[in-house]
Structure 1
């Protein structure tokens, strides 16, 4: 079959990386189209994924509309030439629109309930919408729920083995205990009007007082008094770092969840709770949500609680989570093969066929 995959965010590259390899190994023809966004293109290149960039970055909601229109029109032109049997994406606005025009199938993967702009634009046009079983919304007959998280498409132990050599690249050795702090830019369409930590400096101080080295990563420029804590590592090595950290504090749900499924306890400081962050807290105790107006105080208390536990606690909780959850890459490949448009089998003409 012919598959079109659209990429508009670094997380989409991670999610589809292994499905692309699996699909190609099965003999399918995969075409990847991307919109320039943050480090998405750098990741595609790092993983040696053949792709074409169709549109640039946007720097505001107004420019996003223009960029999205350009992206969709170019994707339509490319997809028309490919004539795909299925188009897939995370979120899937462009994918669902283009598939409906070409009368082919679209399979959309999504896990963010509060991204209402994306869901209103994509869901009505999508043929199949795959969500984690903990997704809070009922989407009707189109919805397929699965017992997993997006992050288990690339961080399941069958897909990922952490490499400790990353520590040397950030000036650490194997005996150093460290924390990763992730600050968001709050510029995504579903983040407008929200915020995370009121005082990141106090969070860093609390971690350092506990004897941890602090590595800070920020979308955009970090606060001036925290620039010395900022580190740099290739984007394809960040997960190695999260796996070896003692704790991760993140304003973004993806980084917090990546840490949690790797068995590194995470604090998620953000006013927007999600089905999967809530489940990782309530069912497995791997993530601590700080989502009310007292996020700053909650974060500091969660740090103290996490650091009072021993390492075996987190390994045990992760193992229990993995017993309940699936390798999401296998699910993705299965769904694309299952829902793709089925073409009639073209049989070569023979002398006998003329007589029949």
Structure 2
């Protein structure tokens, strides 16, 4: 079967890299097309995933529209030559539009309820929309719900084992307590008008007062006087680091949930709550979300209160999560194969009917 997968964000690389390998191992023809965004291309190269870059980065909503139009036009031309049985994506605006134009099938994976621009542009054209069971919106008959999270496509223990050598790479001693602090750029379409931490300097000072090392991961440039806290390691090693951190404090939901499914206590500071961040808090106690006016103060206090204690309770909570949630890679492959077979069968029947006429 011929499968097209589109990549527009680093998180998409992580999500699809295991399904791509599994599909290829089963003999399917997989074509990957990407748009430059942060370290997405660097990750594709790090994982040795053959791909073609169709468009560059954008620096705002106006340029995003132009880049997206270029991306869709080029994707349409490439896909027309390939004649895919299915086109897959996260969010899936370009994938759904192109598949609709080519009269093939599209499948969209998504977990972000408040990204209304993406959902309004993409969902009406998609054939199947796969969402975690905690997703808050009812999308009708197109929706396939599953008990899992995007992060379990690449951080399930069957797919990932953390490498302790990452500690040496960032100059952390084996018994040294440290926190990973993730700052967002707030440049995505669904981030407009929102923000997380009041003052990153206060976070660094508070952790250091407790004897906790701070490793800063900033999307874009960090404040100039905090550059010394920005750690340097290959982007594909971030998950190793999260697995060994004592706590993760993040403005981004993806990093917060990655830490949580790895069994690292996670504090999510953001005015926008999500179905999966709420479930990780209420069902498993692995994540704590703060989205009110005092979110910065309350989130920081919670993060500081976690360090210095046994990690065993977090391991037990993670075990409970893994008992009830699926290996999402298996789900992705099964959905793609099923939809591709349906698409191939429909097109074969259409060709037969046309020839008979």
Q: Under TM normalisation by the shorter chain, which class is it?
A: over 0.9
State the 1:308 CA deviation.
Answer: 6.2
Matches within 5 A, 1:1-356: 1-307=1-307, 309-340=309-340, 341-343=342-344
The 1-side partners of 2:276 and 2:344 are apart by: 37
Query: For each residue in 1:111-148, what CA deviation from the matched residue of structure 2 results, as whole angstroms up to 9, or x when unmatched?
Result: 00000000000000000000000000000000000000
**Structure 1: stretches of 5+ with no match in the other structure:** 346-356
The 1-side partners of 2:33 and 2:227 are apart by: 35
Query: For each residue in 1:309-341, what CA deviation from the matched residue of structure 2 results, as whole angstroms up to 9, or x when unmatched?
Result: 421010011000111100000000000011114
- The answer for the alignment partner of 2:349 in structure 1 is none
The 1-side partners of 2:43 and 2:184 are apart by: 19
TM-score with structure 2 setting the length: 0.95
Query: For each residue in 1:251-271, what CA deviation from the matched residue of structure 2 results, as whole angstroms up to 9, or x when unmatched?
Result: 000001100000000100100
The 2-side partners of 1:218 and 1:343 are apart by: 44
The 2-side partners of 1:164 and 1:295 are apart by: 32
Which sits farther off after the overlay, 49-58 or 294-303?
294-303
Please say if residues 104 and 343 of structure 2, whose CA atoms lie closer than 8 Å, have aligned partners that are also in contact.
no
Please say if residues 36 and 57 of structure 2, whose CA atoms lie closer than 8 Å, have aligned partners that are also in contact.
yes
The 1-side partners of 2:120 and 2:343 are apart by: 28
Give the secondary structure class of the aligned counterpart of 1:343. Answer: helix
Which sits farther off after the overlay, 305-314 or 77-86?
305-314
- The answer for the alignment partner of 1:352 in structure 2 is none
Give the secondary structure class of the aligned counterpart of 1:94. Answer: helix
Give the secondary structure class of the aligned counterpart of 1:145. Answer: strand
State the 1:45 CA deviation.
Answer: 0.2
The 1-side partners of 2:167 and 2:47 are apart by: 21
Give the secondary structure class of the aligned counterpart of 2:179. Answer: strand
Give the secondary structure class of the aligned counterpart of 2:202. Answer: helix
**Structure 2: stretches of 5+ with no match in the other structure:** 347-357
State the 1:342 CA deviation.
Answer: 4.0
The 2-side partners of 1:342 and 1:73 are apart by: 22
The 1-side partners of 2:137 and 2:287 are apart by: 21
Please say if residues 130 and 145 of structure 2, whose CA atoms lie closer than 8 Å, have aligned partners that are also in contact.
yes
State the 1:78 CA deviation.
Answer: 0.3
The 1-side partners of 2:110 and 2:306 are apart by: 30
State the 1:344 CA deviation.
Answer: 5.2
The 1-side partners of 2:324 and 2:206 are apart by: 34
State the 1:40 CA deviation.
Answer: 0.2
Please say if residues 178 and 215 of structure 2, whose CA atoms lie closer than 8 Å, have aligned partners that are also in contact.
yes
The 2-side partners of 1:256 and 1:289 are apart by: 9
State the 1:205 CA deviation.
Answer: 1.8
Give the secondary structure class of the aligned counterpart of 1:134. Answer: coil
TM-score with structure 1 setting the length: 0.95
Please say if residues 105 and 343 of structure 2, whose CA atoms lie closer than 8 Å, have aligned partners that are also in contact.
no
The 2-side partners of 1:287 and 1:245 are apart by: 14
Give the secondary structure class of the aligned counterpart of 2:267. Answer: strand
The 2-side partners of 1:330 and 1:266 are apart by: 26
